[in-house]
């Protein structure tokens, strides 16, 4: 409970753990402020990747993830090509898996080359990835 108190005092928040403090902490760490009950695509575009803890390579991947439109998917191979590292598919997959702001940085939009879902490091694992993609209108194998 101690880190909640420290965090609350730093950011001047008044929420308590039972009212969603973990969600608020994650949003604040990702540089977001909530407008109503939803985070829009424009809010995701405003995430300051450079302020997140990660290597320059990871940050490059996370920046590329934000550019994937809602309702679309790319493969790990396509993502590696987009960042100019076509032989670094495994490294790209690892960087996607370390995304600290899932689903706000939409790593759920990256799938395997065969169209299967692959993994998801966000809360709820692959079940959540499936739900997010279906909600965005993506057809899943």
Instruction: Confirm if 32 and 47 have CB atoms less than 8 A apart.
Output: yes
Would you state the structure tokens that stand for residue 80, as one six-digit string?
């590696």
Would you state the structure tokens that stand for residue 65, as one six-digit string?
């993830």
Quick check: is 101 catalytic?
no
Q: Which of 107, 110, 111, 133 is catalytic?
A: 107
Residues in contact with 82: Cβ distance below 8 Å, sequence separation at least 6, in sequence order: 64, 74
**How many Å apart are CA 77 and CA 88, to the nearest integer?**
8
Residues that are catalytic: 107
């Amino acid at each position: 409970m101690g880190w909640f108190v420290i965090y609350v005092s730093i950011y001047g928040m008044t929420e308590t753990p039972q009212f969603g403090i973990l969600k608020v902490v994650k949003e604040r760490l990702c540089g977001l402020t909530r407008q109503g009950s939803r985070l829009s695509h424009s809010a995701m575009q405003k995430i300051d990747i450079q302020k997140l803890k990660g290597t320059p390579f990871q940050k490059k991947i996370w920046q590329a993830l934000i550019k994937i439109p809602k309702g679309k998917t790319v493969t790990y191979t396509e993502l590696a090509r987009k960042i100019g590292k076509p032989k670094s598919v495994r490294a790209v997959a690892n960087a996607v898996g370390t995304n600290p702001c899932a689903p706000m940085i939409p790593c759920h939009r990256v799938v395997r080359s065969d169209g299967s879902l692959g993994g998801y490091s966000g809360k709820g694992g692959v079940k959540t990835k499936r739900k997010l993609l279906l909600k965005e209108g993506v057809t899943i194998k």
